[in-house]
């Protein structure tokens, strides 16, 4: 705990010194916001009721029946309710920016449940696994609940946040990359995961939600606890974003570093993990299928040993970083990532629209072209010996009430992936 606060103090001091060194010689000043961020928080209400396509690399596609209500009753509070059908089926309920003390202290809540789900577990951590080198862990159900408290100061130039998150899931089978079940669980057993995160954001930009110039720095430490095998580790995430006007748009840069610090290793004994795995390949009569099952199970156990030994940093792939790859495509105890993105605002007009089920004010129609590269490794000395890249582009609709609707395509060595989602990339919370 002392190391955490010393590290946080060092980080805050570094950021403050950076800001001061880039301000005038007489006084430190933040970049002027294009509009008030707290007291003048956009009170423009909006809502959307209807179907929306969703596409997340690695998780699949589907249709979500969404009901979203933003800036309710002139406050910053938003409510989202989604019911999904397709590769993912379930529901998502979220409440964001619920004012606790004016607009300075806000609460966010989220609950979701998916009745069927599967996760790709690649044969190797690091950068070497090929596109089809993975197994699928199929789940009978997956649920998660979380809460986040955010305190904002100085027109949101400084924010502190604390969040807690609990997830449980029930593995039921191991399948190959085609989805064919290799072995089913001998009994249904629920697994729990707990995470708490503390972080700080320094945002010296002209707008918190839609910046065009300035710098944003965010640092967060998560305490990760795996209840079933005793693993406990800290995960540090540090992100830097820089924005500058360019031609008829703006250029954005992002640098990101994530690392895991193990406090207590989980079980690393191979035989013990096999005994706890809940899968028994010896029940398969066919000799060839039994050998295939043992090979797949051994890969899963080998990966779990590395997780229990080194922990896991934020992975690459999904909707946020390396956007042409599936969620969790590249994983390890250390992650580094670099990206640039040119954002062309086709227009910046406040155009009201009200179609009964859809009401808002579109303020920006944006085209984005991006390039990204990243690397992961269990040992920091191995970072950047191998890496992956992404080139892509997309269209975004940014509304006055704060929604960012993204339609993107990214290309990497695995091919092309399509993303349809709500929210900016490079976030700390998803993908």
Per-residue pLDDT reduced to its tens digit, 164-213: 999 988 888 888 888 888 988 887 778 888 899 999 999 999 888 888 89
Q: What total of structural domains would you count in the chain? A: 1
How many angstroms separate the CA atoms of 408 and 265, rounded? 39
Q: What is the mean pLDDT of residues 150-161?
A: 92
- Checking if the pLDDT of 3 tops 70, the result is no
Q: What is the mean pLDDT of residues 234-257?
A: 94
Whole-number pLDDT of residue 341: 96
Which of 243, 229, 392 lies closest to 311, judged by CA?
A: 229
Q: Is residue 5 included in any domain, yes or no?
A: no
Whole-number pLDDT of residue 226: 76
288, 299, 372, 150 alpha-carbon torsion, rounded to 10°: 130
Q: Which residue has the higher pLDDT, 58 or 144?
A: 144
- Checking if the pLDDT of 291 tops 80, the result is yes
**Phi/psi at 14 (5° precision):** -60, -45
Q: Is residue 24 included in any domain, yes or no?
A: no
Q: Is residue 216 included in any domain, yes or no?
A: yes
How many angstroms separate the CA atoms of 369 and 59, rounded? 24
pTM for the full predicted model: 0.86
C-alpha Rg value of the chain to the nearest Å: 22
Chain segment 390-410, per-residue pLDDT in tens: 999 999 988 766 678 899 999
How many angstroms separate the CA atoms of 268 and 304, rounded? 8
Give the range of the structural domain holding residue 164, as residue numbers without chain letter. 31-422
Q: Is residue 12 included in any domain, yes or no?
A: no
Look at the block and give the residue holding tokens 């945002």.
203
How many angstroms separate the CA atoms of 232 and 328, rounded? 20
Q: Is residue 21 included in any domain, yes or no?
A: no
- Checking if the pLDDT of 227 tops 90, the result is no
The residue ranges of DSSP E strands in 227-357, in sequence order, are 232-246, 249-264, 334-347, 351-354
Read off the tokens for 224: 């990760």
Mean of the per-residue pLDDT values for the chain? 84
Q: Is residue 151 included in any domain, yes or no?
A: yes
| CATH number of the domain encompassing residue 144 | 2.40.160.50
């Amino acid at each position: 705990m002392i190391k955490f606060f010393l590290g946080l103090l060092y980080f805050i001091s570094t950021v403050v010194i950076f800001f001061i060194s880039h301000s005038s010689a007489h006084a430190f000043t933040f970049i002027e916001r294009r509009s008030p961020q707290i007291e003048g928080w956009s009170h423009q209400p909006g809502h959307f009721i209807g179907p929306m396509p969703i596409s997340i690399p690695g998780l699949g596609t589907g249709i979500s029946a969404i009901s979203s209500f933003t800036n309710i009753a002139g406050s910053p509070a938003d409510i989202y309710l989604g019911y999904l059908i397709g590769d993912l089926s379930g529901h998502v309920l979220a409440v964001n920016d619920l004012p606790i003390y004016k607009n300075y202290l806000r609460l966010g809540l989220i609950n979701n449940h998916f009745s069927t789900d599967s996760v790709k577990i690649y044969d190797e951590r690091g950068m070497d696994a090929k596109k089809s080198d993975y197994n699928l862990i199929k789940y009978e159900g997956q649920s998660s609940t979380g809460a986040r408290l955010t305190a904002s100061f100085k027109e949101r130039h400084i924010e502190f946040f604390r969040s807690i998150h609990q997830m449980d899931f029930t593995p039921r089978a191991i399948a190959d990359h085609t989805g064919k079940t290799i072995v089913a669980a001998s009994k249904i057993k629920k697994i729990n995961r707990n995470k708490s995160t503390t972080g700080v954001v320094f945002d010296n930009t002209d707008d918190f939600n839609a910046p065009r110039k300035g710098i944003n720095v965010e640092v967060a430490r998560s305490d990760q606890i795996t209840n079933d095998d005793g693993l406990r580790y800290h995960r540090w995430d540090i992100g830097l974003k820089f924005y500058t006007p360019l031609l008829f748009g703006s250029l954005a840069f992002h640098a990101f570093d994530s690392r895991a610090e193990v406090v207590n290793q989980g079980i690393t004994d191979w035989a013990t993990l096999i005994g706890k795995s809940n899968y028994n390949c010896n029940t398969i009569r066919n000799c060839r299928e039994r050998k295939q099952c043992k090979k797949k199970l051994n890969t899963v156990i080998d990966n779990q040993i590395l997780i229990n030994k080194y922990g896991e940093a934020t992975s690459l792939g999904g909707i946020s970083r390396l956007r042409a790859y599936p969620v969790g495509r590249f994983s390890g105890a250390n992650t580094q990532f670099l990206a640039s993105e040119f954002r062309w605002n086709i227009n910046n007009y406040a155009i009201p629209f009200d179609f009964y089920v859809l009401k808002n004010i579109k303020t920006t129609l944006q085209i984005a072209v991006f390039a990204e590269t990243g690397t992961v490794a269990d040992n920091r000395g191995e970072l950047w010996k191998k890496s992956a890249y992404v080139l892509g582009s997309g269209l975004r609709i940014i509304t006055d009430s704060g929604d960012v609707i993204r339609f993107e395509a990214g290309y990497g060595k695995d091919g092309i992936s399509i993303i349809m989602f709500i929210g900016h990339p490079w976030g700390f919370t998803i993908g």
